[in-house]
Amino acid sequence: YKDDSMRSSIRERMRYLRVGDFKSVASSVKESITIYDAVVAMFTNNVGSLIVVGQERELRGMVSRKDILKASLGKTELQQVPISVIMTRMPNIIMAYSDESVMEAAHKLVRHQIDSLPVVDILIDETGNERCDVVGRFTKTNVANLFVELGY
Ligand code: ADP
């Protein structure tokens, strides 16, 4: 009985908490930067993956550490080739939304075996096209921080 009630109280809190209140700033880069500059951006922003955006900050893709390691194995000119060549691109990007529960977002990280999700607002332009405006990122680190916060 005790286990069940504890489990349901944790579940309640995880469902009540919103991604928008726990997300981090989006460390985003333009798709035209080189793979070399993406490595520099990972170090300066202290992140393991970068959100790739277009001219209007709309989501275009994601580049992770492993994408860069893979490119480094071949003959790719890291100082010439843009990250758009090696990124995982839309529409294959798994996203989170500010009003989504942290439980749902954490489940996406686990289910898809990825480290981070771009947090987006979906905007509809004049011509009726959908655009994903990047407003942050939600990562395994956010989940670990939250876990510690809930435990104290
Ligand atoms: P790492 O490569 O450092 O292990 P990830 O596990 O996050 O980092 O990335 C694994 C693969 O999934 C990479 O090819 C990356 O481009 C891709 N990826 C990362 N984040 C996402 C996402 N939110 N949606 C879809 N694919 C992603």
In a 13 Å sphere around the CA of 108, the CA atoms on its Cβ side amount to 17
Q: Whose CA is nearest to atom 12 of ligand 1?
A: 114
- Listed residue (6, 9, 24, 8) closest to 105, CA to CA: 24
Q: Whose CA is nearest to atom 3 of ligand 1?
A: 65
pLDDT > 80? residue 10? no
Q: Does residue 20 have its Cβ closer than 6 Å to ligand 1? A: no
* Pairing verdict, β 96-97 and 28-30: unpaired
- Listed residue (50, 32, 26, 29) closest to 121, CA to CA: 26
Sheet of 49-53, strands arranged across: 28-30, 49-53, 59-64, 88-89
* CATH number of the domain located at residue range(s) 2-151 in this protein: 3.10.580.10
How do the domains of the chain map onto residue ranges? 2-151
Q: Does residue 96 have its Cβ closer than 6 Å to ligand 1? A: no
pLDDT tens digits for 34-43? 999 999 999 9
pLDDT > 80? residue 1? no
Question: ipTM score of the complex?
Answer: 0.96
Q: Does residue 114 have its Cβ closer than 6 Å to ligand 1? A: yes
